[in-house]
Amino acid sequence: MFTPKYPTPDTAPAPAPATPQTTAPAPVVPTVPAPVQVAPAAPATVRPAVQLTPGSALALAAGGGAVVLVVGAVLVSMLLAVAITAVSVALCAVVLKSLLKDLNNQR
């Protein structure tokens, strides 16, 4: 479960060994490259700037405030959960210490 997962090694075939040529190479015939076709560039679209109306600005501010409140509530609840857990663990430690002390005094 905790062992690292390595990717599989590359499975490309090994290159073939070079074989010496015993025949004369064929003569090279120059070729004329075909003309390159270039697609026409798309015209740049002009977007209007975003304009906020008073109503949309108010809605945006209210939405942002709601997000801040929700995130704050979640963070506070997590902090309270950690604090309550810490207090309960400390209380258990005090009780166990007391029980062990009483157990050692009875012998």
pLDDT digits (tens, 9 = 90+) for 20-71: 666 666 677 777 777 777 767 667 677 777 787 889 999 999 999 999 999 9
Tokens found for residue 5: 């997962």
Residue 96 lies in a domain: yes
Contacts of 60 (CB under 8 A, 6+ apart): 52
Could you give the number of structural domains in the chain?
A: 1
* 101 occurs within a structural domain: yes
Instruction: Name the pTM for this structure.
Output: 0.44
Angstrom CA distances, 82 to 69, 77, 86, 92, 93, stand at 20, 9, 6, 15, 17
Domain extent, residue 86, equals 79-107
54 falls within a domain: no
Assess if residue 17 is contained within a domain: no
Residue 98 domain-assigned (yes or no):
yes
Distance CA 105, CA 107 (A): 6
- What is the enclosing helix (H) or strand (E) of 99? helix 54-105
Specify the amino acid at residue 3: T
Residue 14: inside a domain: no
Question: Could you give the CA distance from residue 24 to residue 58 in angstroms, rounded to a whole number?
Answer: 84
Asked whether residue 83 is assigned to any structural domain, the reply reads yes
Q: Is residue 67 part of a domain?
A: no
Looking at residue 93, its pLDDT comes to: 96
Query: Could you tell me the pLDDT band of residue 106, with boundaries at 50, 70 and 90?
Result: confident
